[in-house]
Amino acid sequence: MQIQDLPYPDPGVPDARSGPRFLWWLFRNQLGGQLKSLAWGLLHFASVSALPFCVGLAIQAVVDGSGTRLALAGGVMVLCCVGNALGDTFLHRAAVTNWITAAARVQQLLAHRTALLGSALTRRVAAGEVVAVSTGDVEKIGWFVEAVSRFTAAAVTIVLVCVALVVYQPALGVVVVVGLPVLALAVLPLLPRATRRADVQRDKAGRATELASDTVAGLRVLRGIGGEELFLDRYRDASQEVRHAAVRSARMWSLISAIQVLLPGLLLIAVVWHGVHLAREGRIGVGELVTVYSSVMILTYPLRHFEEIAMAYSFSRPSAKRAARVLSLERATDSGGSRPAETPTGDLYDPATGLLAPAGRLTAVVCGDPDAAGRLAERLGGHPSEQGASALLGGVPLDELPLKSARTAVLVQDKDPVLLSGTLRELLDVPASGAVTAEDALAAAQCGDVLTALAQGSLGADDPMDARITERGRSLSGGQRQRLALARSLITDPEALVLDEPTSAVDSHTEARIAEGVRALRAGRTTVVFTSSPLLLDRADRIVFLPDDEVAAVGVHRELLQTEPRYRAVVTRETDKETAAHRNGTTAGSRPAKPLPDDRGNGPTDGRDDALSDDDVLHRLEEIEETA
């Protein structure tokens, strides 16, 4: 695999049982590139290591006065220099290719896993950890994968040089053979401590990244409540912890590096001291002494790769562990499905709760628990993150369909949809039936003021559709982001559309127009809206009330307000005292309770706006005074 061939047609199925197993799987899947890197590495290191023998032969030829041997040594030296240049150049090329392709494979695997799990991913793994894995961790993983072949080439070269030294000059070669393993193994006792410190640094860096991501995502809210400095102080503290952990880790690696410099120096001193004595005794020649000395000095270069592979493994192991953790996450059901790909039609039914959304109608669902509403919305989309009974569309279990077919049949928009950066045209360019235009969807979602704001905020964009949207739509208000996300969902025109609190950040007047627009645009299509807003509830064809993960009442808004006290308490945000008063037929003990006005007149809408009439407000104030 070359860089120009990326991305991979199929990145494969990773071995995500542990970090080391994942690293080994990556290495095996790049075997061709690793062998190429190993071959060029052997040429490079062998050429470098052969230079001392050439120098020794040349010196000995001068001492002996042999011009033939001097010319031969010079010719071999030229070949070594050419081999060194070629080997170094193509080793670097092969190593960088291995690094980038390994990192790209990991990124593709993470992207596929993210798309497969959908919104369930961030409920099982922190968003900051996913960001850390897909950015910094992939580089460290790639570093170790490409360093393995260079380390192998260096280790093989060291073994060959030791054998050559023993054959060439046994008296000094034995000293080198005994000393080199000591050099290579001397730092092993320090590696576990260095690895632990690197792990601590990585963990703290991951927490700091997660905190930074959460702080940036909530910056608008933090500024509104005056909590910006508090969270910035928390990030400063986390950043300082990362710095202290990095310093402690660097100290240990500095000690390892110092040992890697000190011990080869001591070995050189021992070789020179012993060689001088042998030369005085006439047992070796000057050229042989220079050859052995130069060989030991040159061997410090491949020996540095022992330190590098230790550092690469120490830094990549926690990164691989985090990546394996994300890649090991599975859906509760098989994404391939047991049925052929199809788009069923009909009623949408959840057997776990008894919720039925008739085909072609707008059904509103009121849940007492927002978290339960999110889980139910995910289950209605098929392939939920938790095991359980599958939702049915037209009698077909959605979890038996391929994931793509299930998502085509039922689209679920969660309560916190994400807007990708780019132009508005690109945002709305999604797979769709073609029956709903972008203009119709934007109009139904009441995005007129959003288009105006985008056009004013984008220089050189005459058409609002060409206006730029910043990352996650942070330049827009919460209500504007919700409306653009709603328009994107409406464009797809799925067989069944599930919306989880689509107007929670929208004012009541805009919300009323959105309710009418969605009802008109989705006429004849199945739509399920999870909400407790009276404005949306009053325009639904059917309301299903689930206070405890089970259908308790079905009807229309005004009927349920009068007949179901728990429904009224959820929708009107009644206090416990008001609920008890309604149940007893009186308020604080003396006045009869006044029936709640409807939300089309002066009654309460969604608890966020001053929708009560003046008489109702006075009535409530009198009740409070009597209670006090």
Give the lowest-confidence range in 127-131, 319-323, 527-531: 127-131
Three-class SS of residue 421?
Answer: coil
Would you state the pLDDT for residue 593?
38
Helix residue spans in 118-137 (DSSP H): 120-124, 127-132
pLDDT reported for residue 515: 93
CB 344 within 8 A of CB 353: no
H or E stretch including 393?
Answer: strand 392-393
Contact partners, residue 136, CB within 8 Å, separation at least 6 = 205, 319
Query: Using one digit for the tens of pLDDT, what is the confidence trace for 415-451?
Result: 888 888 888 888 899 888 888 999 999 999 999 888 8
User: Residue 521: its pLDDT value, please?
Assistant: 93
Q: What is the per-residue pLDDT for 361?
A: 94
Q: Which of 51, 60, 54 is nearest to 287 (CA)?
A: 60
The identity of residue 30, as a single letter, is: Q
Token output for 180: 């080199």
- C-alpha–C-alpha distance, residues 378 and 333, integer Å: 13
Contacts of 130 (CB under 8 A, 6+ apart): 110, 114, 121, 122, 326
Give backbone dihedrals phi and psi of 498, rounded to 5 degrees, phi first.
-115, 120
pTM of the model: 0.64
**pLDDT band at 335, cuts 50/70/90?**
low
The stretch 455-463 carries a mean pLDDT of: 73
For residue 162, CA distances in Å to 49, 132, 292 come to: 11, 43, 10
Phi then psi for residue 69, to 5 deg, are -65, -35
How far is residue 24's CA from residue 313's CA, in Å, rounded to a whole number?
A: 11
**pLDDT at residue number 35:** 93
Per-residue pLDDT reduced to its tens digit, 267-296: 888 888 888 888 888 787 777 777 777 777
Look-up: residue for tokens 């308790």?
552
> Directed axis angle between helix 19-28 and helix 138-168, to 10°?
70
For the chain, what percent of residues have pLDDT higher than 70? 84
Contacts 24+ apart (CB under 8 A), 406-409: 406/337, 406/381, 406/382, 407/381, 407/382, 408/343, 408/494, 408/495, 409/343, 409/344, 409/382, 409/494, 409/495, 409/496
> Who's near 59: CB < 8 A, 6+ residues apart?
286, 287, 290
Question: Is the model's pLDDT at 355 over the cut of 60?
Answer: yes
Q: How many Å apart are CA 326 and CA 329, to the nearest integer? A: 6
For the chain, how long is the longest CA-to-CA vector? 126
Q: What is the pLDDT of residue 625?
A: 41
In whole angstroms, give the CA distance from residue 149 to residue 98: 10
- Percent of the chain at pLDDT > 90 equals 24
| pLDDT tens per residue, range 381-415 | 876 767 777 889 999 888 888 888 888 889 998 88
> Which two tokens mark 244?
């202290």
Return the ∠ at Cα 315 (arms to 309 and 321), rounded to 5°. 115
Mean pLDDT confidence for 255-261:
82
Structure tokens at 177: 């053979």
Give residue 219's pLDDT: 56
Cβ-contact 620, 627 below 8 angstroms: no
Report the alpha-carbon angle 354-357-362, nearest 5: 145
Which of 3-17, 81-95, 170-184, 573-587 shows the lowest per-residue confidence on average (mean pLDDT)?
Answer: 573-587
Structure tokens given for 109: 């695997």
* Cβ proximity of 377 and 387 under 8 Å: no
228 — pLDDT class (breaks 50, 70, 90): low
**For 328-392, where are the alpha helices, taking DSSP H only?**
370-380
Per residue in 175-215, pLDDT tens? 888 887 777 777 778 878 887 887 788 778 777 776 776 66
Q: Residues 561-578: what's their mean pLDDT?
A: 80
**Distance (Å, rounded) from C-alpha 413 to C-alpha 529?**
10
